[in-house]
């Protein structure tokens, strides 16, 4: 009997020892896993670090590229496009103006009643129209005919509160968010279609001319007064509400910047200088590139696999289209090399762009002790259930690294514009405010990104100069901004209403 008891005790002891060994091994394996994942995270953080000195080097490089782009066509990675906008809104504009915003599978038509300094935008309304898929690959006549019909219908619905002046054409600001070679304030030839459009007979044509033909064909008496993009529109909207606005930045799915340049500082400008002495420049800053950019192997892989390798490098590091994808790529490496999610890499994690920047933002703003939102997103998007807290913390830290880098690079770009304009140093007795108008979902909705951008710009400017700079959210540049530019470039400027 004693032998049986002893034997049983030995078996139990052996089982306990085996279980203990397994627990220890599991803990060691987990410890090794977290250690390796943290090593990858630390290495990535070091490569992304954007010190004050590095931001100043980037700003200097941006200013140099700006000078080069203004000197000659093709002289810089920055296109520095002349917008032909030389009269920004002042707030004195009065009357009824329309806007057409075409930049994707939907377009908007708007009307605004401007009431001058007292009433500003007295009244506004818009309608959004979906473009049938077959028109996106059909003929130019069919697409612009469809748009003109929608415009005509919208004009017919003008109600009380809108006051067109008798005997005058209605005027329209046209936001056209496709690559265009601008030839005047109200003309520009299409370079190529993007965003799923492919209408061959429009390429090389003046898009304002195409729209005008379509409107004339159905008897709609409306003149396109300004052809703009959303960044120029944001600048116009910002200046309308605050005459200290000197530049505009879009930080959304994509990114761009525009600013007010002195006309005599544009060597490539051919022709008479505008009476205002100013010209708005569309920088196309998404294409900025510099050896000072903290460009990692993840950025390089993203770029190589993109539709436009070697182009829009700055955009791929700071805009909403790509931030979530950078996070995914680092997580993928952690999953493969550190078994962060277990022995099998989650299949969904291998899918490019599955992790969107709004989801990244939600995880980054998670304030719960157990990072509940992070766990929920990992489960809903990547189908990773029961994620332990250390894993959630790694994801949270990764979001912080990517967002902070993007925000600090954006601040460096803005500081580059400020340097180009010579406003980066304090001047005796100069207390004039300078305002940067910013629009886009990334800036508007990603609070930690916005806060980091603002604090980084202050860091670059220094306390004395920073007091004179303000970043303001300027909403709907592609809509109201375009209508305001139609008003400031109206053919009836200076003509009294009869």
Whether the CA torsion 146, 147, 150, 155 is positive or negative: it is negative
Per-residue confidence (pLDDT) for residue 320, from 0 to 100: 94
Q: Report yes or no: 207 and 410 within 8 Å, Cβ to Cβ.
A: no
For residue 414, how far is the Cα from the chain centroid?
A: 14
Per-residue confidence (pLDDT) for residue 496, from 0 to 100: 62
Indicate where the chain has its CATH 3.30.420.40 domain(s).
Answer: 84-228
Per-residue confidence (pLDDT) for residue 21, from 0 to 100: 40
Q: Report yes or no: 269 and 279 within 8 Å, Cβ to Cβ.
A: yes
pTM of the complete model: 0.88
Give the Cβ contact number of residue 166 at 10 Å. Answer: 7
Report strand pairing: 94-102 vs 106-115: antiparallel
**pLDDT, tens only, 205-214:** 999 999 999 9
Question: How far is the first Cα of the chain from the last one, in angstroms, to the nearest whole number?
Answer: 120
Q: Which residues of the chain have pLDDT under 50?
A: 2-6, 9-28
Report d(CA 342, CA 403) in Å as an integer.
26
Indicate where the chain has its CATH 3.40.367.20 domain(s).
Answer: 49-81+242-474
> What residue has token string 């009643």?
113
Report strand pairing: 469-473 vs 434-439: parallel
Neighbour-count burial of 142, counting CB atoms closer than 10 A to its CB (0-12 exposed, 13-18 middle, 19+ buried): middle
Residues paired with 171 in a beta bridge: 223
b/e 264-302 (16+ beta carbons within 10 angstroms → b): eebeeeeeeeeeeebbbbbbbbbbbbbebbbbbebbeeb
- Grouping H, G, I as helix, E, B as strand and the rest as coil, residue 107 is strand
Give the Cβ contact number of residue 199 at 10 Å. Answer: 20
Per-residue confidence (pLDDT) for residue 421, from 0 to 100: 95
Active-site amino acid positions:
195, 230
Per-residue confidence (pLDDT) for residue 178, from 0 to 100: 85
The tokens of 226 are what?
A: 């300004």
Whether the CA torsion 445, 359, 480, 415 is positive or negative: it is positive
**Among the four given CATH numbers 2.40.37.10, 2.40.50.140, 3.40.50.620, 3.40.367.20, the one describing domain 49-81+242-474:** 3.40.367.20
**pLDDT, tens only, 6-55:** 455 444 444 444 444 443 344 445 667 889 999 999 999 999 999 999 99
In 3D space, the residue among 85, 89, 99 whose CA is nearest the CA of residue 232 turns out to be 85
Report d(CA 331, CA 319) in Å as an integer.
19
**Among the four given CATH numbers 2.40.10.120, 3.40.50.261, 3.40.50.720, 3.30.420.40, the one describing domain 84-228:** 3.30.420.40
Per-residue confidence (pLDDT) for residue 313, from 0 to 100: 95
Report strand pairing: 106-115 vs 121-130: antiparallel
């Amino acid at each position: 009997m004693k032998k049986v008891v002893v034997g049983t005790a030995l078996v139990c002891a052996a089982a306990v020892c085996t279980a203990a060994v397994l627990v220890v091994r599991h803990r060691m394996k987990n410890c090794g896993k977290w250690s390796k994942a943290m090593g990858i995270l630390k290495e990535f953080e070091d490569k992304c670090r954007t010190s004050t000195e590095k931001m100043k080097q980037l700003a200097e490089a941006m200013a140099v590229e700006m000078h080069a782009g203004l000197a000659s066509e093709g002289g810089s990675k920055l296109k520095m496009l002349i917008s032909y906008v030389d009269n920004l809104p002042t707030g004195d504009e009065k009357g009824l103006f329309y806007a057409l915003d075409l930049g994707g599978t939907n377009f908007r038509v708007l009307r605004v009643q401007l009431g001058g300094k007292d009433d500003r935008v007295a009244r506004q309304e818009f309608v959004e129209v979906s473009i049938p898929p077959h028109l996106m690959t059909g003929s130019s006549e069919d697409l612009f005919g469809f748009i003109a019909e929608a415009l005509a219908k919208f004009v017919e619905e003008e109600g009380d509160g809108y006051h067109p002046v008798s005997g005058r054409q209605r005027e329209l600001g046209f936001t056209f968010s496709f690559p265009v070679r601008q030839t005047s304030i109200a003309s520009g030839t299409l370079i190529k279609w993007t965003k799923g459009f492919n209408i061959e007979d429009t390429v090389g044509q003046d898009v304002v001319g195409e729209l005008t033909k379509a409107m004339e064909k159905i008897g709609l008496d409306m003149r396109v007064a300004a052809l703009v993009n959303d960044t120029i529109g944001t600048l116009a909207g910002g200046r309308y509400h605050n005459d200290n606005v000197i530049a505009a930045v879009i930080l959304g799915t994509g990114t761009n910047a525009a600013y007010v340049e002195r006309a005599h500082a544009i060597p490539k400008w051919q022709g008479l200088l505008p009476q205002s002495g100013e010209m708005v420049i569309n920088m196309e800053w998404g294409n900025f590139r510099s050896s000072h950019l903290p460009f990692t192997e993840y950025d390089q892989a993203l770029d190589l696999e993109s539709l436009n390798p070697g182009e829009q490098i700055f955009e791929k590091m700071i805009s909403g289209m790509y931030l979530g994808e950078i996070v995914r790529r680092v997580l993928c490496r952690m999953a493969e090399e550190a078994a962060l999610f277990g022995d099998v890499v989650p299949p969904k994690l291998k899918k490019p762009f599955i992790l969107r920047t709004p989801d990244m933002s939600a995880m980054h703003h998670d304030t719960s002790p157990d990072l509940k939102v992070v766990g929920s997103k990992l489960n809903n998007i990547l189908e990773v259930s029961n994620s332990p807290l250390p894993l959630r913390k790694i994801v949270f830290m990764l979001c912080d690294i990517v967002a902070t880098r993007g925000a600090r690079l954006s601040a460096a770009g803005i500081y580059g514009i400020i340097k180009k304009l010579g406003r980066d140093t304090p001047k005796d007795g100069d207390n004039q405010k300078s305002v940067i108008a910013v629009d886009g979902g990334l800036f508007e909705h990603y609070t930690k990104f916005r806060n980091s951008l603002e604090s980084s710009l202050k860091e670059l400017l220094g306390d004395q100069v920073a007091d004179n700079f303000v970043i303001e959210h300027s909403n709907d540049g592609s809509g109201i901004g375009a209508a305001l530019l139609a008003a400031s470039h109206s053919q009836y400027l200076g003509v009294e209403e009869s």
